[in-house]
Amino acid sequence: MTPRRVRTDDAPRTDNPYSQAVRAGDALYVSGYGPVDPDTGEEVEGDIREQTDRVLDNIAACVEAAGGDGLDDVVKVTVYVTDLDEYGRVNEAYGERFSGTLPARVCVEVSRLPGDVRVEMDAVAYPE
């Protein structure tokens, strides 16, 4: 099995030394994404719910670029927040985006995220 880099213009791009996502066999490992608009490279405006939606859009774009069905193929998510007091609002937005078999998930509070965003997530998916 040779890992294959997945690229898309529909998720933020980076100059840093990592891939947007990597396909390894049947699994897809999606890098951590904050609420960054891929067209502007800027953090989206709005509350934590709107920012959570943008994060999930970025993850879905990577899954789709690998031939999958977006969030329907996600099996594991790690959520990073800088303030656990916002967990409920993140959870509400997150819950509206998933259906069927919900992914396994971890949520941790961290002191800081790249770009000083308030929420970031990475994911593991199994696209068709």
**Contact of 34 with 119, CB cutoff 8 Å:** yes
End-to-end CA distance of the chain: 17
Catalytic residue among 22, 44, 75, 107: 107
Residues 6+ apart with CB under 8 A from 17: none
Rounded to 5 degrees, what are φ and ψ at 81? -130, 150
62 is catalytic: no
Angstrom distance (rounded) from CA 37 to CA 57: 9
User: Considering Cα of 17, then 78, then 35, then 98, what sign does the dihedral take?
Assistant: positive
Token digits of residue 126: 């199994």
Token digits of residue 44: 């989206």
Residues annotated as catalytic are 107
